[in-house]
Amino acid sequence: MLALILVAFAPKAVAGRVSASTDPLVVRTSTTWGYSMLLPASWQFRNASYPSDHSTLIWSDPVDAAQKLQIVFSGCYGCSHNLATGAPRPAVGGNLRVTSTYSISPTRLAYAAVSSNDPYPDNGLVIVTTQGYTQIDCWVPQSEHHIATLVLNSYQTVPISTSPAGQTQTHSTRGGGVPSVATVAGGIGGVLLLFIVLGILLYFLPTIIALLRQHHQRGAVFAINLLLGWTLIGWAVALAMSMSAKRQPPAIVQQIVGGAAPPVVAQPSRQGPGQPWTQPISQPEPSPPAIQPMAPPTGPLAGWYADPQTPGQMRRWDGVAWTDETRSG
């Protein structure tokens, strides 16, 4: 019976003896995730990430898993910034339910909390980044609060490596080569934006074709495309209209009947060297007099009559038409 009691309580006794204070702190550096910090030398790394805009890294004591450090990288910009002003909001980003907070800077907030899920107090830090925020939680016994303070104060960012290795750790080779959340979120966001742009271009394809073709019904194509394109039938109708034949505008022919010939514009000239150029005023040429037809005579059918074209002159009428024979009146 005594042996069973010793076996049952042995892990807890060992856990009580092995603590963060008994391990030397060493520098852990990850160029894949872009951070560097002090951690107990025996703590082991585990990647607890899952597909989302958050990634979770855990460093824990191999004997007492409750003593651990958790780093959460978030790519949620709206979770940590005021969308109207862009001002950082660390407390909102960490979604904190804490007993006390301490503002280190406009982008850094330290806090303390007690959770029913963890046997040790939670000492944490929220750092607002350009993409979202990083939240760091350290669970160690209350008697080792100074260890948590050293660990949290040592956190700093390092350049993210683009090499295949991408992960370096001082005094350890654990940590894996998983891309950082900023890289993953940025890649997903870029692909999503590309699909959105392509979708908009495809949706308004009938309108684009109508505009490029200068179609006479491009206004109607745009209206159908915008309002009914989502029904697919409306999109097909708009596409058919944009590909239909264009109506040609009627040709306008200007015909000038009668009137004088266009005026001849004289070229500018000057009187001599050093004199200003003068522009003569052109005058339209006079119209030739209209030829009036000769009226038939009012007298006998044949004979001499007053010339209807030349006053004071006689012209002979042969009974059918005027002849070329003339004489003075």
The pTM of the whole model exceeds 0.95: no
Whether the predicted pLDDT of 89 surpasses 50: yes
The CATH number covering residue 39 comes to 3.40.1000
Choose the weakest-confidence range: 62-66, 144-148, 324-328: 324-328
- One domain, residues 35 and 154: yes
> 43 and 148 in one domain?
yes
Beta bridge partners of 105: 108
Residue 312: which region, alpha, beta or left (left: phi > 0; alpha: psi -120 to 50)? Answer: left
CA distance 79 to 90: 9
User: Residues 115, 19: one domain?
Assistant: yes
Judging by beta carbons within 10 Å of its beta carbon (0-12, 13-18, 19+), is residue 64 exposed, middle or buried?
buried
Side-chain-side CA neighbours of residue 252 (13 Å):
1
DSSP β-bridge partners for residue 46:
58
Q: Are residues 83 and 131 in the same domain?
A: yes
Q: Please return the burial class of 219, using the count of CB atoms within 10 Å of its CB with bins 0-12, 13-18 and 19+.
A: exposed
Judge if 63 and 165 occupy the same domain: yes
> Distance between CA atoms of 97 and 105, rounded to whole angstroms?
20
- Domain residues for the domain of 223 are 185-243
Question: Which 3-state string (H, E, C) describes 193-248?
Answer: HHHHHHHHHHHCHHHHHHHHCCCCCHHHHHHHHHHHHHHCHHHHHHHHHHHCCCCC
284-314 pLDDT, tens per residue? Answer: 666 655 545 555 555 556 788 888 778 878 8
What is the overall mean pLDDT for the chain?
77
Q: Which of 324, 312, 30, 25 is nearest to 174 (CA)?
A: 30
Percent of the chain with pLDDT over 70: 68
Within-domain flag for 206? yes
pLDDT per position as a tens digit, 7-45: 333 334 434 444 565 789 999 999 888 999 999 999 999
**Together in a domain, 59 and 193:** no
pLDDT at 231: 93
Amino acid (one-letter) located at 228: L
Least confident of 146-155, 173-182, 214-223: 173-182
